[in-house]
Amino acid sequence: MSVEIGGIGSSVKRKEDARFIRGKGKYVDDVKLPGMLYLDIARSPYAHARIKSIDTSKALKIPGVAAVITGKDLVPLNLHWMPTLMSDKQMVLPTDTVLYQAQEVAAVVATERYIAADGVAAIEVEYEPLPVVVDPKKALEPGAPVLREDREQKNNHIWHWEVGDKAGTDKAFRDAEVVVKQDLYIPRIHVASIETCGIVASWDKVEGKLTVWMTTQAPHAIRTVIALVAGHLGLAEHKIRVISPDIGGGFGGKVPVYPGYVLAIGASVLTGAPVKWIEDRSENIQADSFARDYHISAELAAKKDGTMQALRVKTIADHGAFDAAANPSKYPAGLFHIITGSYPFQKSFVEVDGAYTNKPPGGIAYRCSFRVTEAAFTIERLVDVLALELKKDPAALRMQNFIKPEAFPYKSALGWEYDSGDYGRALKLAMDTIDYAGLRKEQATKRAKGELMGIGISSFTEIVGAGPSKQFDILGIKMFDSAEIRVHPTGKAMVRLGVKSQGQGHETTFAQIVAEELGLPVGDIAVEEGDTDTAPYGLGTYASRSTPVAGGATAIAARKIREKARLIAAHLLEANPDDVEWKDYKFQVKGVPAKTKTMQEVAFAAYTNHPQGMEAGLEAVDYYDPPNLTYPFGSYICVVDIDRGTGEVKIRRFVAVDDCGTIINPMIVEGQIHGGLTMGLAPALYEQITYDEQGNIQGGNFMDYLLPTAMETPNWETAKTTTPSPHHPIGAKGVGESATVGAPAAIANAVVDALAHLGVRHIDIPITPWKVQQILKANGAAE
């Protein structure tokens, strides 16, 4: 590491922050084009209803309304349905039936946004209400109303998926000395990005070119999807430009294609004018970007001494009306089978059934790698249930059962090959940092006085880096990622990437990788991404894949440049190339340290004095298909105090120890962890989307959907261990989502621990004051 150049390991200040703190960021809603029209969407008030008629005549009479689009208008264009990432299909606009409240029914295009909204209000739709199913368990029962009449399969069952050794696992449970079982519900939540979804679509009829500015985490994939869906209308991929400008948070919610995007593109083609659609907050929180909604029944078999032996899990996944999950893996339930976590189960079996319900599409990988949060929460809760059953300390039980460092690379009972880990070291550091032994003594003293104090642990293993192309694709496009690096004659460099930042700090961290590999100051390296006309083809940013995949591509592309530069340096030094080495960020002749050339000197020569027969210039491209996923991990310890009068849970301390392999920028990593911990706090104590029996959303605005603010967020304490990934070019693993994966279980375990002496074994999240108060009242412990 060189502090002077700002390479790997340096806490370089984020290069992109200068424009953001000065209000110079450019988002989709900042795009303003001459003659631009605005699109607004009429939405269904019913969760399930037949559309008897749609009268648009009053809307069309409003001055300024340019067009009104209904599902029947899209049928001749074959655009009333669109594919999802899960090989399902989703309505763009319905022709006869709506399947959830807030579903898109019609669109109005007008000269001003308020006129479009007036047009939406003027549309008259006659509905015939139909039976509503919001419980996925009831949806799968025989005789339940069939929601997707477009499918040949006349039931609400989407898919069944299983993994593991069923017979061996069943036998292990029959033979087990101890079996614990816990049912859990991980509720539906919303990503609630500070920026909602939006698009500006501009169709140039003369050039036959479509330019799109869009809130997407994967611009190249979106370009291909547009070409596949609308190619028959003349939208050829080489004439489609997708620009993803600055994004105000994605968290997985800006990976899918939403109907509003398709409608804006269609409206631009129809009218010949640019069309802008920006969701308002109520649309965003009621109609898209939902995550979780998993009903889980989990069992763990163990010996009486605490040795864990087998795991058996059965799950129902509520996907809403369409299976539109942002999951590019070949597994319908994503990476849920990382559920064995940090423990060497001999036998495991997992089965998941997907169900349709009268809810908006769910399954967004909200700041986690495709169902990993659900998996980590389940296993870490189950370990604490086992500790209660055996009357063992939960930290000691984990230490007893962790996969040992010498066992790596380790193949789990469910087929994953963990790259590296040292789980005991991470937990010990967390315990030492928080004084775990002292806290247990304090808890005993307080409990004797009737005070409620709890200590919770979560020792999780995550799985990130989608992905190996053998396991991941988007609509058949294999998962990999790319980097293009060009070093200019003056020694300045440009890096173009196929990923897309939504606040992660790519302009800084990727510049640091190049700085480390080429010896150029980080300030001399520019990073561009998000424009399909200039960036190499890539699959975008989500599931903490940027550093594990695009970071690998960047390092390899830089090494290609460095190797060519070495040959040029040998030419300049009049030395045999075999005698020239890269040392201390410059080229030197072995054994003659005075004979050196810097990368800047070599770069100039690459354009002015390169060896005869060598191609001029200094640039390279790499498309990196990783050989494996990466497996970051961590141990979190949470301390809570509970108010016996109100049931309020107060987090007194929270220590997070993370291991993400090689750290590029420690300051950025710490910021990522702080943000992730707050997003883990949110579902543990506050966030939940529910629906009544008629499918009406509860929590569809920020009055009812509780997001933690600075007032609710505790002081996070962080520490780290470093266990590099052996297969990654720089040893990095990814970290952006780890804290969101690990935090909920630590908080839930702490609350249950505070109430365990009252016989409490589990509380479904969010653990609200009302839930706690009811438990205290039922046990005569309320004040």
Q: Which residues are catalytic?
A: 217, 367-368, 737
Distance CA 757, CA 653 (A): 21
Q: Residue 83 phi/psi, 5° resolution? A: -75, 155
In a 3-state reduction of DSSP, which class is residue 402?
A: coil
- Distance, in Å, from the CA atom of 542 to the CA atom of 302, rounded to the nearest integer, reads 36
Q: Is 60 exposed, middle or buried (0-12, 13-18, 19+ CB in 10 A)?
A: middle
Closest CA to 88 of 475, 464, 449, 650: 475
Token pair recorded at residue 462: 């995550």
Tokens 């409003």 sit at which residue?
A: 62
Tokens of 729: 């070019």
Mapping DSSP to helix (H, G, I), strand (E, B) and coil, where does residue 586 land?
strand
Quick one: which of 419, 463, 469 has its CA closest to 624? 469
Q: Cα–Cα distance between 255 and 217 in angstroms, integer?
A: 5
Dihedral pair phi/psi, residue 553, rounded to 5°: -60, -40
Count of all residues that appear for the chain in the document: 783
**DSSP secondary structure of 736-755:** TTHHHHHHHHHHHHHHHHHH
How far is Cα 392 from Cα 409, in angstroms, rounded to an integer?
Answer: 29
592-597 vs 586-589, strand pairing mode: antiparallel
Characterize 111-141 residue by residue with b for buried, 16 or more Cβ atoms within 10 angstroms of its Cβ, and e for exposed.
Answer: bebebbbbbbebbebebeebebbbbbeebbe
* Phi-psi sector, 641: left (phi>0), alpha (psi -120 to 50), beta: beta
Cα dist from 208 to 142, 277, 535, whole Å: 51, 22, 21
Question: Is there a contact between 465 and 549 (Cβ–Cβ < 8 Å)?
Answer: yes
Q: Is 190 helix (H, G, I), strand (E, B) or coil?
A: strand
364 DSSP assignment:
B
